[in-house]
Amino acid sequence: MSPRFGPDYILYRASTSGTEGLRKLGEGQKHTELWNGRDGRVVAAPAIAPNGRQFAFPVRRGGVTRLHVMNADGSGVRQLTAALDVRGSPAWSPDGQWIAVAANRDGQPALFKLPINGGAPVLLVQGFAVDPVWSPSGRFLIYSGADVGTTFPLKAVAADGSPYPLPELVLGRGARRVAFLGGDDALVLLKGDMSYKELWVRDLKTGRERQLTALGRGFTIGDFDISLDGRELLFDRSRDESDIVLIERPK
């Protein structure tokens, strides 16, 4: 689940015995376990640093979720802050200095950015705002607003916390993951109904859209990522299957 492109590896969540941990797919198709879910469940997608040497991930343990940082080889694990009960996936800034994440602080939801070298969280958005994505230029972030029925709006905020204009964009439930393609204007997103979605790219300036995938019904895309050069898509998907089994009752 939740695959992410590194410079020479793929990072993903994996479920073992009902708990979610972190694994890395590296050279020679070798899968390495970096975090075991028994130490706390990794409840959302990780965020890889621009240089690929570190990544951040949320771990739920004892009823709260904290943000952790780890080196790409699995060493140097540390909790970034104890002040925030994290919600959703984090996002690493293009300059490598900040991590944006949604969290509850004193029971109130908000979006923050955290300095990677320590320091107090900086408030970006007060209110419900989850799964931020940093624009390639670093000037602004896009995030998901609260659900309204089966839909939710995408919103934006400047990196300094000031308002940032974004054309009206409403997506369906199950499509919170978005990613930039190339520059700040092309946004890859999931579109479709509750049970079937394809990947599309939308021009934020013109509003024009084009379809990227045509996988057809029967498969559900859960999460995705785009390679650093913008030439490859990486995604997880599930397919509903069922068997009919006859069990004969003893006489």
CB atoms within 10 A of CB 44: 25
Residue of 117, 131, 26 whose CA lies nearest to 69: 117
Q: Write out pLDDT tens, residues 93-130.
A: 999 999 999 999 888 999 999 999 878 899 999 999 99
pLDDT at 18 over 80: no
End-to-end alpha-carbon separation of the chain, Å?
Answer: 45
- What pLDDT is recorded for position 172? 87
Which positions ≥6 away from 90 have C-beta within 8 Å? 44, 46, 47, 56, 57, 58, 67, 99, 100, 101, 132
What proportion of the chain, given as a percentage, has pLDDT over 70?
Answer: 100
CB atoms within 10 A of CB 100: 27
- What pLDDT is recorded for position 42? 93
The CATH number of the domain holding residue 62 is 2.120.10.30
pLDDT at 175 over 90: no
Asked whether residue 32 is assigned to any structural domain, the reply reads: yes
Q: Write out pLDDT tens, residues 142-157.
A: 999 998 888 999 999 9
Asked whether residue 222 is assigned to any structural domain, the reply reads: no
Q: How far is CA 6 from CA 11, 46, 140, 192, in A?
A: 7, 11, 22, 28
Residue 96 DSSP one-character state: S
Asked whether residue 115 is assigned to any structural domain, the reply reads: yes
Confidence category of residue 27, pLDDT binned at 50, 70, 90: confident
Asked whether residue 105 is assigned to any structural domain, the reply reads: yes
Asked whether residue 234 is assigned to any structural domain, the reply reads: no
Confidence category of residue 10, pLDDT binned at 50, 70, 90: very high
Asked whether residue 215 is assigned to any structural domain, the reply reads: no
Asked whether residue 239 is assigned to any structural domain, the reply reads: no
Asked whether residue 140 is assigned to any structural domain, the reply reads: yes
Arithmetic mean of pLDDT, 160-167: 92
- What pLDDT is recorded for position 218? 76
The boundaries of the domain holding residue 116 are: 4-186
Number of compact structural domains in the chain: 1
